[in-house]
């Protein structure tokens, strides 16, 4: 007998378009192996612990006291083995418990092109072994991030996992302030005594702690909007207080801007308002950062506003990056093949510069580092995957009423990351917490644009539900016979 089922047309930007009909001749029904309660418990725990791992890592309070380029490139054995084990657990759990259509939805032109660009970079790399190891752990980090959002079987389960992960990160950082103040606060550093007394918690630097805690505060906003007012408020207040004590002026300023931008969507009832406002903010912040290199008047204005027109010396790195991009503008120098390589280390000491950029880990600008590493072609693909496609997905996700608070949360993270990218670099950065939060939001909007999490009566079918009837160990796929 021939059977038929339907899935949403993911290629169409219109949620109301006719569904795509696929014929099938095989029924993949399997007997139930686990009870629903056991399945929910497993998915919540794996999702929550995976989020905690992304936010904490396996070596918290690890402070680099001296600079060593060799050790910086060699990685951390404990983190590598731990993330490899976590990746295997996540992969197994996804294959056993996740909706098959959720997994296959990742097969898109954007992700495929990004994979092709990375393979091309690997083939061109003068250090293929180092790049391969880096790519493997970057992919593992992305797998863990996808697991956090793909496993929970309802928004209630997702909120529980979110509370577990965010609560663990906050608790550890605040415990560190009391139990290990020399490690949880700056001041124990050899190279940055000017940061003495600033909070960094279990993170290695305040410039990581500030953005990640801002994302956790966004989680708190989502929880409050979703009915968990007390736990949401505690998470938001604790994270926001931490951000204020990191001393990062730009992060403190960007966080509320991202929140206000996204709140324009529920205020005006249109996702396009938030998207337009985010584009204006990105363009404006681009002018106020890179623009100071070309306008002395703008530089003086920024100096009066922030007390530092160089963004803590970052303008030196941006000038150097802009001077090096034209040499390999189309394909770049290769992923992770610019900073801390002979391309930079072999140069003469820049005595006139504010920073000695020969020993800088990255250029403190996501967009310029994209161009250095991947060139114009790779940067276009990566910007599409990380910034542009999520905007389209956000507009589609908000058409489903039940998905809106969650979509707003993910888009706040995207907007915040897009603004932060002008002063920090974190793209494809292994298990870097900022990068993992960014790709976590990308995956979240990707799925919300294609599936209903809890489902809306009259609008959701088993094929468009986040966890429909094809989630193992339930019946893999239920087909509706043709009539």
- Cβ contact 466:102 at 8 Å: yes
Specify which of 125-139, 234-248, 302-316, 441-455 reaches the highest per-range mean pLDDT: 234-248
| Residue pLDDT, tens place only, 447-477 | 999 998 865 433 445 555 666 544 333 333 2
Q: Choose among 256, 226, 260, 228: nearest CA to 244.
A: 256
pLDDT at 322 over 50: yes
pLDDT tier for residue 62 given thresholds of 50, 70 and 90: confident
Please identify which residue in the block is written with the tokens 């949620």.
Answer: 15
167-203: b or e for each residue (b if 16 or more CB lie within 10 Å)?
bbbbebbbebbeeeeebbbbeebeeeeebeebbbbbb
| Residue pLDDT, tens place only, 3-61 | 333 334 444 444 443 333 322 222 223 445 778 899 999 999 999 999 999 999 999 98
- Cβ contact 239:167 at 8 Å: no
H/E stretch holding 22: strand 20-24
| Residue pLDDT, tens place only, 255-274 | 999 999 999 999 999 999 99
pLDDT at 442 over 90: yes
For range 143-159, the mean pLDDT? 96
Q: Choose among 435, 438, 448: nearest CA to 392.
A: 448
Q: What percent of the chain has pLDDT over 70?
A: 83
Residue 428's region, left for phi above 0, alpha for psi from -120 to 50, else beta, is left
Sign of CA dihedral 422, 426, 428, 434: negative
pLDDT at 244 over 80: yes
Q: What are phi and psi of 349, to 5 degrees?
A: -65, 130
Measured between alpha carbons, how far is 351 from 359 in angstroms, rounded to an integer?
13
Q: Choose among 24, 2, 19: nearest CA to 477.
A: 24
Measured between alpha carbons, how far is 265 from 413 in angstroms, rounded to an integer?
15
- Cβ contact 332:374 at 8 Å: yes
Please identify which residue in the block is written with the tokens 């803590």.
Answer: 312
441-458: b or e for each residue (b if 16 or more CB lie within 10 Å)?
bbbbbbbbbbbbbbbeee
Please identify which residue in the block is written with the tokens 């990742």.
Answer: 106
Q: Which pLDDT value is given to residue 481?
A: 32
Q: What are phi and psi of 345, to 5 degrees?
A: -65, -25
> Which has the minimum average pLDDT: 52-61, 85-94, 319-328, 468-477?
468-477
pLDDT tier for residue 75 given thresholds of 50, 70 and 90: low
Going by the DSSP 8-state scheme, the letter that residue 175 receives in this structure is: H
Q: Which pLDDT value is given to residue 131?
A: 87
Number of Cβ within 10 Å of residue 154's Cβ equals 16
For range 372-401, the mean pLDDT? 96
Q: Which residues neighbour 99 within 8 Å (Cβ) at sequence distance 6 or greater?
A: 150, 451, 465, 466, 467, 468, 470, 471
Helices (H), 226-313: 229-244, 249-262, 264-268, 271-289, 296-306
CA–chain centroid gap for 254, Å, is 16
Q: Which pLDDT value is given to residue 356?
A: 83
> Which has the minimum average pLDDT: 188-202, 269-283, 343-357?
188-202
**Mean pLDDT for the chain?**
85
> Which has the minimum average pLDDT: 293-297, 350-354, 393-397, 425-429?
350-354
């Amino acid at each position: 007998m021939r059977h038929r089922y339907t899935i949403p047309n993911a290629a169409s930007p219109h949620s109301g378009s006719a569904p795509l009909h696929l014929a099938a001749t095989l029924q993949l029904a399997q007997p139930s192996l686990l009870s629903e309660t056991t399945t929910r418990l497993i998915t919540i725990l794996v999702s929550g612990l995976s989020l905690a791992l992304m936010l904490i890592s396996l070596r918290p309070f690890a402070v680099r006291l001296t600079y060593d380029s060799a050790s910086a490139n060699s990685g951390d054995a404990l983190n590598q083995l731990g993330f490899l084990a976590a990746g295997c657990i996540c992969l197994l759990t996804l294959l056993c418990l996740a909706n098959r259509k959720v997994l296959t939805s990742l097969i898109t032109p954007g992700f495929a092109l990004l994979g092709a660009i990375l393979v091309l970079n690997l083939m061109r790399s003068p250090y293929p072994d180092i790049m391969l190891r880096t790519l493997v752990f970057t992919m593992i980090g992305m797998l863990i991030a996808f697991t956090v959002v793909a496993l929970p079987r309802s928004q209630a389960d997702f909120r529980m996992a979110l509370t577990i992960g965010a609560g663990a990160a906050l608790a550890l950082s605040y415990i560190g302030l009391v139990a290990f103040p020399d490690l949880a606060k700056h001041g124990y550093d050899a190279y940055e005594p000017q940061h003495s007394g600033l909070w960094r918690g279990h993170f290695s630097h305040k410039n990581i702690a500030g953005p990640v805690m801002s994302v956790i505060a966004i989680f708190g906003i989502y929880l409050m909007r979703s009915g968990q007012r007390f736990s949401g408020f505690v998470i938001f207040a604790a994270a926001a207080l931490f951000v204020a004590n990191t001393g990062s002026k730009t992060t403190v300023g960007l966080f509320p801007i991202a929140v206000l931008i996204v709140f324009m969507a529920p205020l005006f009832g249109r996702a396009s308002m938030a998207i337009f406002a985010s584009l204006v903010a990105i363009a404006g912040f681009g002018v106020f950062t890179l623009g100071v290199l070309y306008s002395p008047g703008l530089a003086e204005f920024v100096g009066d506003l922030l007390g530092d027109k160089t963004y803590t010396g970052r303008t030196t790195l941006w000038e150097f990056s802009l001077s090096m991009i034209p040499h390999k503008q189309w394909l770049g120098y290769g992923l992770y093949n610019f900073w801390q390589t002979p391309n930079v280390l072999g140069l003469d000491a820049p005595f006139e510069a504010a920073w000695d950029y020969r020993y800088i880990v990255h250029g403190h600008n996501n967009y310029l580092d994209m161009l250095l590493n991947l060139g114009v072609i790779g940067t276009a693909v990566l910007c599409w995957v990380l910034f542009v496609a999520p905007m389209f997905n956000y507009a589609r996700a908000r058409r489903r009423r039940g998905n809106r608070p969650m979509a707003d949360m993910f888009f706040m993270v995207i907007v915040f990351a897009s603004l932060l990218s002008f002063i920090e670099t974190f793209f494809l950065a292994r298990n870097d917490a900022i990068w993992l939060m960014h790709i976590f939001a990308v995956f979240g909007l990707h799925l919300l644009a294609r599936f209903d999490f809890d489902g809306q009566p009259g609008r959701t079918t088993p094929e468009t539900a986040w966890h429909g009837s094809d989630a193992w160990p339930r019946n893999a796929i239920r087909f509706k016979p043709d009539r």
